[in-house]
Amino acid sequence: MLFMDFAKTCERLEDTAGRLDMIGIISQELTGLSEEELPVFVRFVMGRIFPDWNSRKLGIGPNILYDAVRSVAGVRKTAVVDRLNKTGDIGRTVEELLLVKTQTSLSYTELDLLDVYYKLVSISSREGEASQREKMRTAMQLLGDARPLEGRYLARIMLEELRIGVGEGSVREAIAKAFNVDSALVEHAMQALNDMGEVARLAKIGPDALKDVRITPFHPVRMMLAQQGAIADMIEEHGQIAAEFKYDGSRFQFHKKGNWARLYSRRLEDVTAALPDVISQLLSATEQDVILDGEVIAIKDGKPMPFQSVLRRFRRRHDVAEAQEAIEMVPNVFDILYLDGETLIDLPFSVRRKRLEGAVTRYIAPQIVSGEQAEIEKTYDAALAAGHEGIMIKVPSSPYTPGQRGKNWIKIKPEVDTLDLAVIGAEWGEGKRAHVFGSFLVACQDQGRLVPISRVATGFSDEQLAEVFEMLKESVIKTEGKEVTFEPSLVFEVGYAELQASQNYKGGFTLRFPRFIRIRDDKDLADIETIEGIRARYQRQANSAQAYQK
């Protein structure tokens, strides 16, 4: 497939609003692709380069891209900045600048989809200063060969953010349609393989290939997630339910095969090097090949420490040995997904639990199974008294569904007035804070779209502002006076006194007395609060105010 054909498909998709039409366009393209092109096309059309299980990043930030397009188009930096401020979109900016190039250059090399892919893969594994030059060279080479429309999508792929509105659901349906297989089968294969590209390749072979998928050690699967709910409803619906403490630490997935083991974070990053103590604890607990799901907490004087201390350890790159001594980490294992070559996710939770108890000798999270509300409530009280966040209720007959926030895992915890929100913009600080961002625009999501909800300017220490600045400075895509706009990636937990209806924000709500609580870099944009969630909270707030007035 020529990259130009891919770019034209993206353009059509970008101009298409209806989901069914989008699915039609993608599925038509899928049928004409070779076995080698298929996975690449599927990942590219979702704005990805690598399989989801692979946390490898290309490592090309907006700045490298601006420099590359600037030298290819032969324009000054100000020309890039001006256009960027006008379009607010890197892809369109690159496209416009390549139009300038087109007027002066005579020949092109046709870009091929697979060539682009292999070039990008080859630079992603490099590290260090030389790698920056290498990345710049490759970006210039690719943009040098690109026509304007190709440039639009090349730039966005290099930043791994395609913005054409194609979600995983549409690609799943398109694969099912193209190869005439059941979409539930496609979804199930995706859960085990965590790579839609590979799933498409198998779908082309046929339904049997899709049915036969297995989890592979060291290809982490997405974490199963929880919803809010009530104990009584769960008992009414399921009779017996399982209850465990809800630990306030960081999620992990532990993979072990032979004497090789790795630990992955909730975002599936490999955090093995930062947590050697947890690895050796888990290695001491099992002889078998396993994939375990759990939560690691930090303990001091027998009590769980604030979640922030755990996150700090997950982020640690240097002086890991010192950090280990300062704080004791304890893994709590609550699920098993793989055992000695067998994929277990489709087994009922109660059966998985038995397999877990048979394979692992220590660190298993205690559990009770009961149909008595009073007994479950006792566990909830005990959890809070021991300093945990609350409890998790799980349905004993349920499978493990990677990546899904279903009704089989329910979290019960005291309602707190904080929200996880995406940081989408900021304003430069003033006075002694003039060199960092001082206040931030944060957003919730409405079916994948970001909806601004508040500005947050309080609650930060100077250190935190400096830390946040370091994390965000490479993500600025637009500057207007003192205001900057980010390519969103960072999540803040934000506290508030009250939700207010507001005309000033498109979503219809804003926060009263918003304050920064903490960075949630264990969370992705997909994890932030939804507008429906906020509406429901607003309703609960109104109900309790009414009750108070009566």
Q: Which residues bind ligand AMP (CB under 6 A)?
A: 223, 225-226, 244-247, 251, 295, 334, 365, 392, 411
162 contacts 316 by C-beta, under 8 angstroms: no
CA distance 391 to 412: 5
* Dihedral angle over CA of 302, 303, 309, 310, nearest 10: 80
Looking at beta carbons only, is 246 or 313 nearer to ligand AMP? Answer: 246
Q: What would you report as the CA-atom Rg of the chain, rounded to the nearest whole angstrom?
A: 25
| 215 contacts: CB under 8 Å, gap ≥ 6 | 192, 193, 221, 291, 337, 338, 343, 345
Active site residue 246: yes
Residue 261 CB, nearest approach to ligand AMP (Å)? 20
Residue 246 CB, nearest approach to ligand AMP (Å)? 4
384 contacts 303 by C-beta, under 8 angstroms: no
Looking at beta carbons only, is 55 or 500 nearer to ligand AMP? Answer: 55
- By CB atoms closer than 10 A (0-12, 13-18, 19+), residue 462 is exposed
Looking at beta carbons only, is 138 or 250 nearer to ligand AMP? Answer: 250
Looking at beta carbons only, is 98 or 226 nearer to ligand AMP? Answer: 226
Looking at beta carbons only, is 398 or 475 nearer to ligand AMP? Answer: 398
Residue 412 CB, nearest approach to ligand AMP (Å)? 10
Residue 345 CB, nearest approach to ligand AMP (Å)? 15
Looking at beta carbons only, is 170 or 367 nearer to ligand AMP? Answer: 367
From the list 101, 135, 204, 246, the catalytic residue is: 246
Can you name the residues that pair with 342 across neighbouring β-strands?
A: 339
CA distance 379 to 105: 72
Residue 23 CB, nearest approach to ligand AMP (Å)? 30
DSSP letters along 446-495, please? ETTEEEEEEEE-SS--HHHHHHHHHHHGGGEEEEETTEEEE-S--EEEEE
CA distance 60 to 480: 24
Token reading at 506? 């498109």
As a whole number of Å, the end-to-end CA separation of the chain is: 68
CA distance 222 to 192: 9
Residue 346 CB, nearest approach to ligand AMP (Å)? 19
Kindly list the catalytic residues.
246
